[in-house]
Structure 1
């Protein structure tokens, strides 16, 4: 009986050590992936206010030297309440593509977003009882938001950016942006990377 207890205790200790070791490895892998994202952001001159690396287990992505998906919070500009950049598949210091979602504050008044039958948001809302449709475009490195054609907000976004559409949600008017270059719209950085490699 004593030998059985000793054997069981040994097995439990070994399992505990393995689980603990994996937990430490997973945590270190996450830190390593975050460091890769920070290096990329520094390289393209992005000052992030927050980084949230997705894709588990982190160990697998760290072994592949690839970051699956990262949400990067950017500093807010006037009239916005959220500005988030998504890095898709960061590998070898470059993401496959960039997507950005800028949330403008609701216009003044009572705003009731108009939803589709499946519950998804549309580009329109009832504002003080009247239907208002929101659109967005990028001109001269500035994102402009319009409500029924009247300017409703504007922020700086930099070069190489395209407005993909707008949607009115419970938290504001969200504009999706796409980037021509994974170098945050800066083709000169892309050329510089090519010359170095």
Structure 2
């Protein structure tokens, strides 16, 4: 808490599944105006997350600040409790057994494979199947349905032989919805390449 003032993000692919990790400002009471803005961004990020990883110092143990932070997380969002710094020792605290946390060392790489596995399971990934099978959560289902509806509009525009700029409205919308799932963004160059393949008017 107090070290991060903004949202930091990185794109990962784990077992073929695209994942965007966000590191947020710690949520706590603060009089610092800049930190308050970061904390508000953190709260917004929590409500939009597919999975929340709450990391704490396992060497210091689980404390009231950790518990208060846990209470900030919406109940419907999957939560992974992760105790870091296991290489420095584990606090002698009964609460650690009660919260059922994953134990890792980010510095030494201990427990990272298990963390990846649990993260994928929280996202709905089927580890026991040979192919990539991802169960969509409710938000992803809504985005997929919205993308399908936009594509229907694109097909209708093509069927009715409307000018190509009518197609792009629905196509952009579909791509934007799918991009929210995959983390990818569409560019003008990609759209230009797509429509360069069409012979408009035939």
TM-score by length of structure 1 reads: 0.22
More helix by share: 2
More strand by share: 1
TM-score by length of structure 2 reads: 0.22
